[in-house]
């Protein structure tokens, strides 16, 4: 097995990974691994946009305040300030890379059009129509592909981080030296080594049955970091986006929050009347946890399959101009959004918790950094404010790169690493076990660890997760590795971390709402799990 040796390994080719790569590559040889195609992460699916203080009259203080209010006060104020103060520069850099943000047409001559989303007290979201992520991903990929020091490797699924335990000369120092990864087309395991490794593997949306996140969002980075010895924090905070399309054929299609920002109203399909004003004075523009819980409440109260999101009262040209992608997509499903409402339901959308990092993107392990949705940086607290997450990817992708460059001479050579051992495994003749367990995890997480929780349901979920963990460990130890098995092994770890964190929180705060502890405690404390 050849050792693919680079200066820095980046696992993940979304906003966080590619930002880090571009910031390192002028002086370092970088490899970026993606488990599928480069644009299969969540980044390319982002619709609404990126939050930054750009409107005259808006202030950093106001964006910080909105972030902390949405986050239920659990945010780390230093992180919030760090990210928000770096936001305007991050937007400038993306524009310089060629991201065609919609131009402003405001009377004050704003450079970019700013839309509004829930929880923001100002117009603050730069966007490229309703398909911002795709434009960002394309610009980053183009720049990375053009850089001679960046090697982009697709279809390479990271299995586990390489530490001193895998070195020819055993070391217990915990330093990360690279990663073992499965080349999916050949089924062969490759070894990548480097002085520094950055995890940018995105979130774990797929641990739930219904999710807006793409198939690869199986929490691989969180599980790999946990197995290697990193602390993981705030995993109970799973953000359910209030408005995913309800359609029996098309799964996972998001209807952007910007539609509510531009006047879209949530209505009951039974009487066509708005219901959000009954729940919150901010109505449709309350933070996501509030809106998702209200929809869940109405769906359960009235035995509905969905509620309606209606923008048809706005002029048709306005709707088509602001939401061209959604308009075209729904027209193919027979829904003309300029004339009729859209059936919507909440769906798992964003993983607020993750691998603990500091302001330089450093994890607990020497040589290992992390950026983006895989992390718990302190930005989001108990509930992420809309459009703050792409921003986090740009700011921490750059911060990690800067720290690596500044401390390059302190990173030792990774040394000689042992080969991947396949001598005791055989080809599986029971793939059904993997498929069944994938489905089972996502189902019990949806039913028992959803928007409204109880201790009894969480205990049931923990019991199931523990049984599945034993089954998956047994399977992993005996059969040759596949991409589905890698993801299943990670999903079960992430499910367990979520349930354990939820059980540990004896209050309701932000996205964690439990009938057994409905009040919020006076002090906001992170849940930190130590491996
Ligand atoms: P991702 O973009 O998810 O990339 C993860 C990368 O890691 C991929 O390249 C993947 O292949 C790779 N990877 C994963 N596991 C492995 C492995 N084992 N081996 C190798 N590679 C691996 N946020 C906003 O701020 N604004 C929005 O408008 C917005 N809209 C959204 C709309 C949708 C539908 C969704 C799902 C999310 C949205 N978000 C939005 C959230 C935001 O898109 C994500 O938080 C962000 O893109 C995450 O970027 P990332 O770089 O951390 O990870
Ligand atoms: C959306 O467009 O509603 C998604 C925005 C986000 O997740 O931040």
Tell me how far the alpha carbon of residue 386 lies from the centroid of ligand 2, in angstroms: 5
- What percent of the chain lies above the pLDDT cut of 70? 99
> CB–CB of 191/418 below 8 Å?
no
In a domain, 522, yes or no: no
Query: What pLDDT is recorded for position 106?
Result: 63
Query: Quick check: is 38 in a domain?
Result: yes
Q: How confident is the model at residue 107 (pLDDT cuts 50, 70, 90)?
A: low
pLDDT in tens, 159-200: 999 999 999 999 989 999 999 999 999 999 999 999 999 999
In a domain, 446, yes or no: yes
Question: What CATH number is attached to the domain comprising 188?
Answer: 3.50.50.60
Q: Which of helix, strand or coil describes residue 32? A: strand
| Continuous segment of H or E residues that includes residue 19 | helix 15-24
- For residue 216 the two structure tokens come to 């690869």
Q: Are residue 93 and residue 179 in the same domain, yes or no?
A: yes
- In Å, how far are 65, 231, 352, 510 from 526, measured between CA atoms? 19, 12, 12, 12
Please give the mean pLDDT across all residues of the chain: 95
Contacts of 440 (CB under 8 A, 6+ apart): 464, 468
Same domain, 89 and 133: yes
Would you say residue 231 has pLDDT above 60?
Answer: yes
Q: What's the DSSP call for residue 104?
A: P
Q: Best of 38, 133, 371 to mutate for ligand 1, by most ligand atoms within 8 A of CB?
A: 133
Residues 450 and 405 in one domain: no
Nearest residue to 204 (alpha-carbon basis) of 244, 178, 232: 232
Q: Is residue 23 part of a domain?
A: yes
Assigned domain for 29 exists: yes
Ligand 1 neighbour 346 (Cβ under 6 A): no
Clarify whether residues 261 and 307 are in a common domain.
yes
Angle at 95 between CA 406 and CA 215, to 5 degrees: 80
Q: Is the CB of 133 under 6 A from ligand 1?
A: yes
If one residue of 217, 241, 384 were mutated to test the ligand 2 pocket, choosing by the most ligand atoms within 8 A of its CB, it would be 241
Crossing angle (nearest 10°) for helices 483-504 and 431-448 = 20
Asked whether the beta carbons of 343 and 269 are under 8 A apart, the reply is: yes
Q: The CATH number of the domain where 475 resides is what? A: 1.20.58.100
Average pLDDT over residues 388-399: 98
> Residue 260 sits in a domain of what CATH number?
3.90.700.10
- pLDDT for position 323: 96
Q: How confident is the model at residue 108 (pLDDT cuts 50, 70, 90)?
A: low
Of 328, 349, 370, which one is at a domain's C-terminal end? 349
DSSP assignment of 445-459: HHHHSSSSB-HHHHH
> Does residue 479 surpass a pLDDT of 90?
no
Cα separation, 522 vs 122, in Å, equals 28
- Decide if 288 is catalytic: yes
The rounded Å distance from CA 130 to ligand 2 centre is 10
How far apart are the C-alpha atoms of 307 and 156, rounded to whole Å?
A: 40
Whether residues 199 and 330 fall in one domain: no
Point out the domain boundary residue: 349, 370, 393: 349
- Split at pLDDT 50, 70, 90, the class of 425 is confident
The total number of structural domains that make up the chain: 3
**Mean pLDDT computed over 334-360:** 97
**Do 366 and 282 share a structural domain?**
no
Query: Closest Cα to atom 8, ligand 2: which residue?
Result: 387
Q: What is the pTM of this model?
A: 0.96
For atom 40 of ligand 1, the residue with the nearest CA is: 46
Whether 247 and 115 share a structural domain: no
In a domain, 485, yes or no: yes
Q: Which domain holds residue 459?
A: 431-515
pLDDT at 471: 92
With the most atoms of ligand 2 within 8 angstroms of its CB, the residue from 117, 238, 388, 511 to mutate is: 117
Residue 506 has pLDDT above 60, yes or no: yes
Q: Would you give the DSSP letter of residue 211?
A: B
Tens-place pLDDT, residues 243-277 = 999 998 888 899 999 999 999 999 999 999 999 99
What distance in angstroms lies between residue 356's CA and the mean position of ligand 2's atoms?
23
- Do residues 118 and 22 both lie within one domain? yes
Mean pLDDT to the nearest integer, 226-255: 95
**Nearest-atom index, ligand 2, CA of 384:** 8
Q: What 3-state class would DSSP assign to 528?
A: strand
- Could you say which of 175, 231, 288, 453 is catalytic? 288
Same structural domain, 181 and 249: no
Q: Confirm or reject: Cβ of 10 under 6 Å from ligand 1.
A: no
- Which residues is 115 bridged to in the sheet? 125
Q: How sure is the predictor about 109, in pLDDT bands with cuts at 50, 70 and 90?
A: low
- Answer whether residue 299 is part of any domain: yes
| Residues 508-517, mean pLDDT to the nearest whole number | 97
Domain boundary among 312, 329, 349: 349
One-character DSSP codes across 69-96: HHTTT-S-HHHHHHHHHHHHHHHHHHHH
pLDDT reported for residue 432: 87
Looking at the structure, tell me whether residues 294 and 209 fall in a common domain.
no
Could you tell me if residue 482 is inside a domain?
A: yes
- Does position 495 have pLDDT exceeding 70, yes or no? yes
Is residue 371 within 8 Å of 196, Cβ to Cβ?
no
In this structure, the answer to whether residues 279 and 356 fall within a common structural domain is: no
220 and 252 share a domain? Answer: no
């Amino acid at each position: 097995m050849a050792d693919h040796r680079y200066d820095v390994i980046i696992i993940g080719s979304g906003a966080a990974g590619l930002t880090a790569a571009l910031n390192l590559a002028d002086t370092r040889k970088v490899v970026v691994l993606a488990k599928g195609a480069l644009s299969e992460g969540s980044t390319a699916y982002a619709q609404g946009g990126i939050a930054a203080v750009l409107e005259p009259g808006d202030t950093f203080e106001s964006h910080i305040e909105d972030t902390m209010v949405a986050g239920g006060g659990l945010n780390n104020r230093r992180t919030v300030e760090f990210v928000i103060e770096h936001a305007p520069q991050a937007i400038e850099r993306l524009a310089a890379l060629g991201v065609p943000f919609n131009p402003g047409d405001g009377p004050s001559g704003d450079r970019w059009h700013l839309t509004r989303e829930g929880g923001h007290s100002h117009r603050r979201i730069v966007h490229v129509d309703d398909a911002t992520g795709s434009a960002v991903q394309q610009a980053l990929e183009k720049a990375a592909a053009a850089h001679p020091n960046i090697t982009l490797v697709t279809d390479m699924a990271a299995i586990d981080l390489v530490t001193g335990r895998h070195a020819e000369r055993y070391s217990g120092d915990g330093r990360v030296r690279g990663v073992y990864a499965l080349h999916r087309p050949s089924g062969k395991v490759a070894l990548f080594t480097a002085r520094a490794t950055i995890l940018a593997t995105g979130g774990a949306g797929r641990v739930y049955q219904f999710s807006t996140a793409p198939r690869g969002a199986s929490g691989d980075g969180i599980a790999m970091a946990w197995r290697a010895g990193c602390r993981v924090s705030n995993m109970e905070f799973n953000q359910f986006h209030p408005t995913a399309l309800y359609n029996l054929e098309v799964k996972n299609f998001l209807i952007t929050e910007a539609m509510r920002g531009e006047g879209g109203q949530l209505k009951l399909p039974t009487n066509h009347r708005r219901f959000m004003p009954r729940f919150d004075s901010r109505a449709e523009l309350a933070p996501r946890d509030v809106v998702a819980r209200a929809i869940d409440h109405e769906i359960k109260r009235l035995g509905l399959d969905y509620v309606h999101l209606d923008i048809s009262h706005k002029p048709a040209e306005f709707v088509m101009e602001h939401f061209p992608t959604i308009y075209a997509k729904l027209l193919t499903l027979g829904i003309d959004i300029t004339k009729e409402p859209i059936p919507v339901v909440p769906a798992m959308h964003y993983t607020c918790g993750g691998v603990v990092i500091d302001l330089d993107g450093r994890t607990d392990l020497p040589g290992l950094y992390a950026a983006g949705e895989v992390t718990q940086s302190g930005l989001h607290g108990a509930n992420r404010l809309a459009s703050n997450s792409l921003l986090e990817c740009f700011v921490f992708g750059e911060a990690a790169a800067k720290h690596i460059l500044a401390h390059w001479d302190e990173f030792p050579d990774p040394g000689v690493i042992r080969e991947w051992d396949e001598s005791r495994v055989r080809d599986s003749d029971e793939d059904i076990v993997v498929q069944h367990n994938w489905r089972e995890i996502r189902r019990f997480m949806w039913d028992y660890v959803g928007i409204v929780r109880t201790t009894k349901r969480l205990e049931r979920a923990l019991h199931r997760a523990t049984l599945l963990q034993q089954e998956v460990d047994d399977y992993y130890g005996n059969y040759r590795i596949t991409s589905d098995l890698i993801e299943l092994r990670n999903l079960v770890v992430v499910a367990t971390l979520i349930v354990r964190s939820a059980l540990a929180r004896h209050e309701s705060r932000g996205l964690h709402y439990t009938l057994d502890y409905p009040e919020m405690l006076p002090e906001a404390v992170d849940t930190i799990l130590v491996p």
